[in-house]
């Protein structure tokens, strides 16, 4: 097993071409059924490591099989940790802390692998080619890598998609409690947020700014940016819902 402390020098990361995606997709089409099933192997990319939620997910026991971290991903983390930009430096250090956390979790098999892909210097393309060769899925939070993996016929476990899927379903008529923090786009609207970050637009909620108020859900909208809930202030004569 490679030691985190032995991460090599950084390699540059650049733009990903659609031509490579097509090539990877064709290669995936030529693999056998057992390879395309991906097994239980999962390659973790830099974005998912830095994001940190992978450790929380691992603690729940929902991740099975081996978690693989290629050496070139370690080098990318090392490049960030040694950089001059304070924000990037903190992200790199956080990435190593998350890996150390994963190493210490019972039931988690974290493996640092030597495999390198000489055909390309792009980190994302290396990751996808390595996933194809090993019959593994890719754990990421990177939208572009997600799309490229899908085009390449590689299984993707996007942490952001998981987080959205786990948000509780709300139905029209349900009562929520929300802190109204600012005005909405339309006259009289107020905007608040649930604990999970979901935006709640309250009709005629401007008068409730700075308050925690009970609101009645009127509709919900799922967008590419996430979920948005529309509501109105609950009248005093209305009974409390299950979430009030």
Q: What's the CA gap between 176 and 184, in Å, rounded?
A: 18
Per CATH, the number for 175-233 is: 2.40.50
**Does the predicted model carry a pTM greater than 0.75?**
no
Single out the residue of 123, 99, 110, 128 nearest to residue 4, CA to CA. 99
Which one has a higher pLDDT value, 199 or 164?
A: 199
Partner residues linked to 110 by β-bridges:
67
Q: What's the CA gap between 191 and 203, in Å, rounded?
A: 9
Q: What's the CA gap between 196 and 46, in Å, rounded?
A: 24
Task: Report residue 225's pLDDT band, with 50, 70 and 90 as the boundaries.
Answer: low
Give the list of residues 6+ apart from residue 20 with CB closer than 8 angstroms, or none: 120, 122, 125
Q: Which residues of 170-202 are buried (b: 16+ CB within 10 A; e: fewer)?
A: beeebbbbbbbeeebeeeebbbbebeeebbbbb
Give pLDDT tens digits for 134-169: 999 999 999 899 999 989 899 999 998 888 777 778
Give pLDDT tens digits for 105-133: 988 899 999 876 665 668 888 899 899 98
Q: Is the separation of the CB atoms in 69 and 8 below 8 Å? A: no
Partner residues linked to 115 by β-bridges:
none
* In the predicted structure, residue 66 carries a pLDDT above the cut 60: yes
Look up the CATH superfamily of 4-165. Answer: 5'-nuclease (3.40.50.1010)
The pLDDT score that the predictor gives to residue 51 is: 93
Question: Please, what is the average pLDDT of the chain?
Answer: 79
The pLDDT score that the predictor gives to residue 82 is: 94
Give pLDDT tens digits for 79-91: 999 999 999 999 9
Place of tokens 């192997």: 41
The pairing of strands 109-113 and 66-70 is parallel
Ordered by start, the domain boundaries in the chain are 4-165, 175-233
Single out the residue of 49, 80, 51, 50 nearest to residue 67, CA to CA. 49
Q: What's the CA gap between 71 and 79, in Å, rounded?
A: 12
């Amino acid at each position: 097993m490679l030691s985190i402390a032995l991460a090599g020098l950084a390699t540059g990361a650049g733009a990903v071409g659609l031509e490579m995606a097509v090539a990877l997709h064709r290669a995936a089409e030529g693999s056998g059924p057992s390879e395309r099933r991906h097994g239980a192997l999962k390659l973790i990319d830099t974005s998912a490591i830095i994001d940190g939620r992978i450790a929380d997910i691992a603690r729940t026991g929902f991740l099975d099989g081996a978690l693989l971290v290629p050496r070139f991903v370690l080098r990318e983390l090392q490049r960030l940790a040694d950089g001059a930009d304070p924000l990037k430096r903190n992200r790199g250090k956080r990435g190593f802390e998350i890996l150390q956390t994963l190493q210490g979790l019972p039931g988690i098999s974290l493996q640092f692998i030597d495999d390198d892909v000489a055909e390309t210097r792009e980190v994302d393309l290396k990751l996808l080619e390595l996933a194809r060769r090993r019959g593994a899925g890719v754990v990421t939070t990177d939208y572009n890598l997600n799309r490229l993996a899908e085009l390449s016929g590689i299984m993707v476990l996007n942490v952001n998609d998981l987080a959205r899927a786990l948000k509780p379903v709300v139905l029209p008529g349900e009562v929520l409690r929300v802190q109204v923090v600012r005005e909405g786009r339309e006259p009289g609207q107020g905007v608040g947020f649930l604990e999970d970050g979901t935006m709640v637009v309250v009709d005629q909620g401007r008068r409730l700014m700075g308050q925690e108020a009970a609101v009645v859900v009127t509709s919900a909208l799922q967008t590419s940016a996430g979920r948005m809930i529309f509501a109105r202030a609950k009248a005093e004569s209305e009974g409390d819902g299950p979430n009030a």
